[in-house]
Amino acid sequence: MTKTLTTLLLVAGVLSGCTLAPHYDRPEPPVAVAYPAAPEGYAASEVKTGETRRASDIGWREFFRDPRLQSLIATAIDNNRDLRTAALRIEEARAQYQVQRADLLPTVNANASYQRGQFSSLSVAPGAGGAQTFTGSVYQVGLGISQYELDFFGRVRSLSNAALAQYFSTEEARRAAHISLVSEVAKAYLSERALAEQYDIARDTLAARQSTYDLAKRRFDAGATSALDLRDNESLVAQARVSAAQLARQRAQAQNALEVLVGKPIAEIADLPAPMKLSDERIISDIPEGLPSDLLEQRPDIRQAEQQLLSANANIGAARAAFFPRITLTSNAGTISPSFSGLFDAGTKTWSFAPSLVLPIFDTGRNLSNLDLANVRKRIEIANYEKTIQTAFSEVADALVARGTLEEQVAGQEQQRNAEAARFELSRMRFRSGVASYLDELDAQRQLFNAEQALVQARQLRLVNAIDLYRALGGGLNETAPQ
């Protein structure tokens, strides 16, 4: 009996390695073989460091040189609730996979029972003479296997493979969430810093314009200037006051958004370094983009979508196996005796072996519908996989196109700011010399303020674009360069 059972289990284990799932072929990426060219005149990007490593090989501490930003990212990784949820999802998927995998092997249970009642002597002592009835007790102990499915057609194996792919998918989702968190913290930090610099400019401008207005008011009271000049000064003061109030509000909101990502108030982070100016930020901006096909391995969200596709493909195998017979095995071996002390005496051994076969004949189309459903879900996952690749391709292409143009935009904006600053000084000198009217100085002051604000915004855009390219190419998962 034991040899027969062992042989059946070995045969079942060998056959269960095969499934009826379709052969998996990775879909062709629905994107071009190369990224689109940059706008005419901006084809060559600025190469500063000669960087040749992939984004995934550059740790975020190396990519972000700002010590304050490094501390914020490290704190966010430890405290962010979304990242915690993603990690717990992995534990959930691992447990589900282990539950499903357990069905591949038989479950052996120990059992013990006691009965008191009227019995037949044949049921207790099969080898005795004629049947007699008696009132007494029956003790029974043994080991048993209950409803173990001999997976000849790979149904259980397919379900296990589907659960394994779901587990891998959840792990990739956590990696994608980690990369997204690093980039979002960096962009939120740059947003807060840009608004802080713009607010400082607006506050300084307000103080300067208020001083100029006070001087104009005294000159007007003395009859040296017209009411028009006074009202122009008053308008500039009001504009600066409005800008300062708007920027103060926006900066506070940006800091709130940053603290949500970090997971705790910034004031509670110990030994937080002082912030750097945007002009002093040194973020790697010349990461090589490689080929679009490289994204399949670099981006965890693409790998996540492919694991979802593999899971759907495995579920087709389980749906196909439902059309074939399902063979289950129930067996038990032990001893039975009318007295507890005689459980292990000679002649008390019992065993049972009860295989069963269920062949679907008429199920009102249930199995066929389940197979259709599995095939449709696979096609949905193929579409999702292709869409994820297209999105990744678009993100990299947009960042590459913007890289050269933003470098040029910042250079042009710096030139304009310098020109407006020189113009303001010349206008002030001309007014004091009596060569030009005061309106020229007011206009130059207004244009200088706009140019300084625009320069801060351009620098922020350039840095954010570098972060977007880093994330789009799969960077931000590792703290330091992988060994």
> How far apart are alpha carbons 308 and 388 in whole angstroms?
12
Q: Is the dihedral of CA 396, 399, 405, 411 positive or negative?
A: negative
pTM tops 0.85: no
Give one DSSP letter per residue of 414-455, joined into a string: HHHHHHHHHHHHHHHHHHHTTSS-HHHHHHHHHHHHHHHHHH
- Give the helix/strand (H/E) hosting 2: helix 2-15
Residue 335 confidence (pLDDT): 86
C-alpha dist (Å) from residue 211 to 198, 205, 336: 20, 10, 106
What are the 10-residue block averages of pLDDT along the chain, 483 residues in total?
50 60 92 83 53 85 94 93 87 88 83 77 55 74 83 89 93 94 95 96 90 82 79 86 95 95 90 90 84 90 96 94 88 80 76 83 88 95 96 93 89 94 87 73 86 95 94 91 68
Residue 7 confidence (pLDDT): 54
By CB neighbour count within 10 A (0-12 exposed, 13-18 middle, 19+ buried), where does 108 fall? Answer: exposed
> How far apart are alpha carbons 44 and 41 in whole angstroms?
8
> How far apart are alpha carbons 385 and 33 in whole angstroms?
17
C-alpha dist (Å) from residue 133 to 116, 119, 275, 346, 350: 13, 5, 93, 22, 20
Domains located in the chain, CATH noted: 19-105+154-316+372-472 (1.20.1600.10)
Residue 99 confidence (pLDDT): 85
Which tokens go with 418? 């310098």
